């Protein structure tokens, strides 16, 4: 194989690996550009009720997705509705929050998500409440919450369950990029 052919092969190999192992956020018809925003810290009003020592609230911001099924690394709140406060480290213009969750008892287990925002972690303002999250029982999926464009440093996310409780694997904040 010539050097030219080897160089042409490398970019295509990189693209395949990027598509296979990377997480992306895109919707048809959405012209906004996004960048995954790192989360500096997370606090929960209630500790996970199952394996909290191994699968605590920090797992929600570690970038690792659990597998489908009960025996995985899900952070679980059985019959509890926690409030999560996410610190982005500085004020960001967030367009989308994504929650990787798995319904266990019912397809509509994640019945509502309330989003509040703050600049100082003291004074939170209700931004909106979202409903309509449906997924196949025992199958993980992303719930995508379109915030349009809100500037804040702190986000309080409060889910409500209908049935068994919450199994969450990851929460992502997508910043609207200027480029």
Q: pTM for this structure? A: 0.80
**Residue whose C-alpha is closest to residue 152's, from 91, 90, 89, 97:** 91
Q: What is the pLDDT of residues 45-58, one digit of tens each?
A: 998 886 645 678 89
Cα separation, 42 vs 179, in Å, equals 28
What sign does the CA torsion over 61, 63, 65, 71 have? Answer: negative
Q: How far is CA 67 from CA 96, 102, 107, 124, in A?
A: 23, 10, 18, 34
Coil, helix or strand at residue 146:
strand
Coil, helix or strand at residue 150:
strand
User: According to the model, what pLDDT value does residue 121 have?
Assistant: 98
What sign does the CA torsion over 121, 124, 128, 131 have? Answer: positive
For the chain, domains (ranges, CATH) are 27-176 (2.60.120.260)
Q: What is the pLDDT of residues 3-38, one digit of tens each?
A: 444 444 334 333 222 222 234 555 566 788 999 999
Which DSSP helix (H) or strand (E) runs through 127?
A: strand 125-131
Cβ atoms of residues 102 and 154 within 8 Å: no
Residues whose CB falls within 8 Å of the CB of residue 120, separated by 6 or more in sequence, listed in order: 153, 154
Q: What is the pLDDT of residues 123-178, one digit of tens each?
A: 999 999 999 888 888 888 999 999 999 999 999 999 988 877 788 889 999 999 87
């Amino acid at each position: 194989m010539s050097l030219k052919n080897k160089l042409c092969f490398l970019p295509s190999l990189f693209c395949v690996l990027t598509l296979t192992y990377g997480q992306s956020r895109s919707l048809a018809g959405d012209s906004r550009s996004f960048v995954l925003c790192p989360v500096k810290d997370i606090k929960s009003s209630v500790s996970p009720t199952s394996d909290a020592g191994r699968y605590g609230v920090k797992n929600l911001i570690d970038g690792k997705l659990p597998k489908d099924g009960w025996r995985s690394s899900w952070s679980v709140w059985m019959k509890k509705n926690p409030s999560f406060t996410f610190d982005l480290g500085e004020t960001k213009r967030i367009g989308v929050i994504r929650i990787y969750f798995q319904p266990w008892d019912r397809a509509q287990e994640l019945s509502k998500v309330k989003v509040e925002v703050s600049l100082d972690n003291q004074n939170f303002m209700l931004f909106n409440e979202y409903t309509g999250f449906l997924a196949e029982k025992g199958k993980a999926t992303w719930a995508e919450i379109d915030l349009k464009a809100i500037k804040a440093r702190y986000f309080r996310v409060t889910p409500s369950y209908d049935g068994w409780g919450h199994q969450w694997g990851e929460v992502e904040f997508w910043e609207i990029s200027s480029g």
